[in-house]
Amino acid sequence: MSSLEERAAAAEAKLASLCERISKAEDSMAAGAPPAAAAVSGDAPLKGFQLEMLGQLRQLRAKMVADDAGASAGGGPEADALKANNAKLVAENKALNFRVVHLLRALDDAEKA
């Protein structure tokens, strides 16, 4: 359980870092300055590529936020399947425990006789 919490915390930290970097890139693009990692050449193809990547990063950020919201709501088909499987296993465990109790009782009765 703790490993899941650690992975979730790491994912949230990574998401926050990416959001911050995207915001800085957006601010930089709005001001007309090239991003820090790009060469200062003024190439139109480079600017087009940067804008395309920015659009893709925005889509990824929106998807990550939506996935995070869905996970915190306890939803999703994966979670529903896991809950159904858990309920099935609980019922099976209950039935098996019932059988064990009665088999032990019968074994005790057989040993006494």
Q: What is the pLDDT of residues 56-96, one digit of tens each?
A: 999 999 888 887 776 666 666 788 889 999 999 999 999 99
Helices (H), the chain: 2-31, 44-72, 77-112
First to last CA, the chain: 49
Pair of tokens at residue 5: 């919490």
Q: What is the pLDDT of residue 44?
A: 80
Answering whether pTM is above 0.85, one says no
* pLDDT > 90? residue 102: yes
How many whole angstroms separate alpha carbon 85 and alpha carbon 113?
Answer: 42
Residues 6 or more apart whose Cβ sits within 8 Å of residue 15: 61, 64, 65, 68
Query: Please, are residues 68 and 15 in contact by the beta-carbon 8 Å criterion?
Result: yes
**Which residue type is seen at 84?**
A
Residue 82 vs residues 3, 34, 54, 74, 78: alpha-carbon distances, Å: 18, 47, 36, 11, 6
Q: What is the pLDDT of residues 20-31, one digit of tens each?
A: 888 888 887 777
